Amino acid sequence: MKVGIIGGTGGIGQGMALRLSQNHTVYIGSRKEEKAQAACEMCGYALKVLGLPFDLNPTTNQGVVDNSEIVVFSIPAENLERTIDSLTGLEGKIIVSLMNPMIRTDYFKYNPPEEGSAAIQLQKLLPDSKIVAAFNNIPAGKWQKLSEPLDYSVCVCSDHEDAKEKTMELVNSISELEAVNAGPLAVSPYIEAITPLVINIARFSKKRDVGVYFK
């Protein structure tokens, strides 16, 4: 598949690119193409020394939209509206949200917008796009660690069945991830809230990179 990552130069974005570009055509997007270029060079070099194949392409965030069947939003939730305002051509696209709005107080607190979740907000901002929440709960530190398998469950929810199915197929193509169908987009708050929960668990239980597995 042709998959593009908006905000692809962050830690999670680069980690996704490392994992996805072995099986898919990946576009790393950034507000500045030079940053995307630098990220692609780094990721490409790492994959090359590991002897792994890859198809990685630097571009702008708009370039991601223009070239990809699946557009992943890997940006801080607070940048969402500004980023969308800067883009055109999102209509009809599958858009994957892995955003988990949260704030840090004496613990990590889920801080959804009034719509209920970042994914629901995104669907309201883009009524003609197909929003899917997925990849929300994978520990950031594990994406880039190619020496270890990614063996978590990935909740996938959407109001668009075709988009959900395609995203589940994408999930299942990565390492040992297992996509689970969690139902309509309305359940996305429960999925997003798992991320502050596991960060709290890591902190209070003195663990690292806590992820979730359903069984």
Q: Does 212 bind its own copies (CB under 8 A)?
A: yes
Minimum distance of its own copies from residue 111's CB (angstroms): 12
Minimum distance of its own copies from residue 50's CB (angstroms): 24
Per DSSP (E only), the strands in 77-177 are 94-97, 102-104, 108-110, 130-133, 153-158
Minimum distance of its own copies from residue 36's CB (angstroms): 33
Q: Which is closer to its own copies, CB of 94 or CB of 155?
A: 155
Minimum distance of its own copies from residue 79's CB (angstroms): 23
Question: Under rule CB under 8 A, which residues in 77-136 are in contact with its own copies?
Answer: 106-107, 109-110
Q: Which is closer to its own copies, CB of 8 or CB of 139?
A: 139
Amino acid code (one letter) for 169? E
Q: How far apart are CA 183 and CA 157, in angstroms?
A: 5
Pair 61, 29: CB distance under 8 Å? yes
Size of the site for its own copies (CB under 8 A): 32
Question: Under rule CB under 8 A, which residues in 160-199 are in contact with its own copies?
Answer: 180-184, 186-187, 189-191, 193-194, 196-198
Torsion of Cα atoms, 144 then 166 then 84 then 43, to 10°: 20
Q: Which is closer to its own copies, CB of 45 or CB of 213?
A: 213
Q: How far apart are CA 203 and CA 36, in angstroms?
A: 32
Minimum distance of its own copies from residue 106's CB (angstroms): 7
Phi, psi of 140 (to 5 degrees): -55, -40
**Backbone dihedral region of 25: left (phi > 0), alpha (psi from -120 to 50 degrees) or beta?**
beta
Out of 155, 163, 170, 171, the only residue in the binding site for its own copies (CB under 8 A) is 155
Pair 121, 101: CB distance under 8 Å? no
Q: Does 200 bind its own copies (CB under 8 A)?
A: yes
Phi, psi of 137 (to 5 degrees): -110, 15
Minimum distance of its own copies from residue 194's CB (angstroms): 7
CA-nearest of 146, 201, 197, 198 to 176 is: 146
Q: Does 149 bind its own copies (CB under 8 A)?
A: no
Q: Given the rule CB under 8 A, which residues bind its own copies?
A: 106-107, 109-110, 152, 155, 180-184, 186-187, 189-191, 193-194, 196-198, 200-201, 203-205, 210-215
